[in-house]
């Protein structure tokens, strides 16, 4: 395992452009549950994908509001070592494409983030399109100015990915000579399709508790926090 971490550190040092692809396994160490584990976001809900759908928001906004505010918002959560190390590498020579909607990567100071599925704290009124603060949303999902329904700018089931984010992500992947997949089972589409745009010369490393079924990956099967703790030590020694 240490040999693989050392190989990764060597690849990071040599890389000209690194792209990270991250998921919920990064933010669990900040106290934010993942989605599909026994204690995850979906565990206590009979129909979580419907609750997080465009249809539910439109037809049952109160149910949608209750689900997301009770299960998805962790305003006191802070970035952990993984966020911080990825931010440092991105600010030096990389870019992050994340499935996470918690905003912790930007909170860690990462200046090169594509929030592929949006951000829970990017809130707006669907009637007037005005931005709304989280404090306002936490009080009521109706906009005080016009009674419109407030929503987070995240991709719900039944909605498409923002095309500008898709285009930026494809361009970043194509330009990378090192791609790192961290804390995700890499099964959610179209996110998992991004690898098809990689350069043939790009190296791909993955850090995840479960193995990832994708070609030509150097798999580091371990907890992401443990891996980044070791990686930081090795990078500092290089």
Query: Hey, which residues are catalytic here?
Result: 117
CB distance 63 to 51 below 8 Å: yes
CA-CA-CA-CA torsion sign (211, 216, 220, 223): negative
CB distance 220 to 228 below 8 Å: no
**Rounded to the nearest 10 degrees, what angle do helices 224-237 and 81-93 cross at?**
50
CA-CA-CA-CA torsion sign (6, 11, 14, 19): negative
| Alpha carbon distance 18, 13 (integer Å) | 10
Give CA angle at 92 (89, 98), nearest 5°.
45
């Amino acid at each position: 395992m240490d040999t693989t971490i050392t190989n990764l550190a060597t690849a990071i040092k040599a890389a000209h452009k690194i792209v990270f692809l991250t998921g919920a396994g990064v933010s669990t160490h900040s106290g934010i549950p993942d989605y599909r584990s026994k204690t995850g976001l979906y565990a206590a809900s009979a129909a979580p994908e419907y609750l997080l759908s465009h249809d539910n928001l439109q037809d049952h906004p109160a149910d949608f509001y209750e689900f997301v505010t009770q299960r998805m918002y962790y305003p006191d959560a802070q970035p952990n070592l993984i966020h911080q190390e990825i931010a440092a590498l991105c600010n030096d020579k990389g870019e992050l494409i994340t499935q996470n909607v918690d905003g912790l990567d930007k909170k860690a100071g990462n200046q090169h983030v594509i929030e592929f599925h949006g951000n829970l704290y990017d809130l707006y009124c669907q009637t007037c399109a005005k931005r709304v603060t989280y404090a306002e949303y936490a009080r009521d999902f109706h906009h005080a100015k016009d009674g419109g329904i407030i929503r987070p700018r995240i991709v719900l089931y039944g909605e498409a990915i923002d095309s500008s984010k898709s285009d930026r992500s494809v361009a970043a992947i194509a330009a990378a000579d090192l791609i790192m997949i961290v804390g995700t089972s890499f099964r959610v589409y179209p996110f998992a399709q991004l690898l098809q745009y990689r350069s043939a010369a790009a190296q791909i490393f993955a850090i995840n508790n479960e193995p990832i079924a994708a070609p030509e990956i150097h798999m580091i099967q371990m907890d992401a926090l443990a891996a980044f703790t070791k990686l930081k030590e090795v990078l500092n020694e290089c």
